[in-house]
Structure 1
């Protein structure tokens, strides 16, 4: 059993590493254009302090998830769930596929990507790639990734932390869309009519 758990911790760590590499690559790519990527006072004012802080807290929770399961698994072993191996491997596959979507969304956004939204400094409205069918495919990718690593970890505490992160990020979407309407006006409202929020509109 210990050997199996070591394998899943390795898979978990590799998935986190791949996510970090993708984000770091596109972060540096956007930074090279001179565009602001980090939160600042203006972005926090526009999105609302609670919304902005909730996203930052979700990032902190994500870091805690990694440390607990990948580095100090004995600390949370009492929360272990008896999930079958096939379900845990399915979670690994789900997370891996979500990384492909995560990279695709970054590629489609290009220099328009940032950790926050700023009306007047948002660039063009991206409606290509995954954005042709879904308005927030990056969040879709993150949600799928969190669900996947929850299954991989097979740990109730990790499941609860991932669920908390999903809720916090989801609550941001409404405010983000308000800011996008402020920026793009009718162009964005028309875009909303033909696309789904997190899944394609059929």
Structure 2
């Protein structure tokens, strides 16, 4: 499953397959491990409100479920790079019926969950950064999918990109 991803040292240096998009994504996801800033006390709260914490945890768990579904649906077509794997299949079933990039949707759901669970401005900034990075990465990925799959244009015109109706996260032709 992990073979054929096309990762190379040269690619990390010159971004030939979109490695810099992947690097930015990984840095922002990893930064979610940082502690919340500011803390609840800085908001004048002894603890962060329990309902927001619960909603945040539920969103995080929902994101993990969406990620698992997308991961399973992709199978051997899975690649962390925005350059599509040669010989991949166009997947339009399962979570790919709801949106064209459910893995990116899952990452954003998890990030939003962290923001709500902890009330952290730092994590809100990371979420906004992920919106920019994943929107850009998805656009690059779609250019290669259009070259590999002639019917991708039809799929793209009828299916939301990452999040239906949200600027930068939904573009259709």
| TM-score, with length taken from structure 1 | 0.68
Higher deviation after alignment, 127-136 or 103-112: 127-136
Aligned residues: 159
Partner of 1:59: 26
**Partner residue, 1:45:** 16
In structure 2, the residue matched to 1:188 is 152
Q: Who is 1:197 aligned against?
A: 161
How big is each residue's C-alpha offset from its partner over 1:79-129, in whole Å with a ceiling of 9 and x where there is no partner? 954552201210110110111111000000011101114456141111111
Change (3 A) 1:119 1:85: closer
Partner SS for 2:32: helix
Q: Could you list the per-position Cα deviations for residues 11-33 of structure 1 after superposition, in whole angstroms to 9, with x for gaps in the alignment?
A: xxxxxxxxxxxxxxxxxxx13xx
* Structure 1 residue matching 2:79: 3-state secondary structure: coil
- RMSD value, Cα: 2.6
Contact 2:99/2:163 (8 A) holds in 1: yes
CA distance in structure 1 between the aligned counterparts of 2:42 and 2:29, rounded to whole angstroms:
18
Alignment of 1:8-157 (within 5 A): 30-31=1-2, 35-37=3-5, 39-40=7-8, 41=10, 44-47=15-18, 52-66=19-33, 68-69=34-35, 77=39, 80-81=42-43, 83-118=48-83, 121-157=86-122
CA shift in 2, pair 1:79/1:196, >3 Å: farther
- Structure 1 residue 38 displacement after superposition: 6.0
**Distance in 2 between residues matched to 1:151 and 1:90, nearest whole Å:** 7
- 8 Å contact kept, 1:134–1:196: yes
Give ranges in structure 2 of 5+ residues lacking alignment: 166-173
Q: CA deviation digits over 1:120-167, x for unaligned, max 9?
A: 614111111111231111111111111011111222112212321222
| Structure showing the higher helix proportion among its residues | 1
Name segments (4+ residues, structure 1) moved above 2 Å: 35-44, 75-84, 117-120
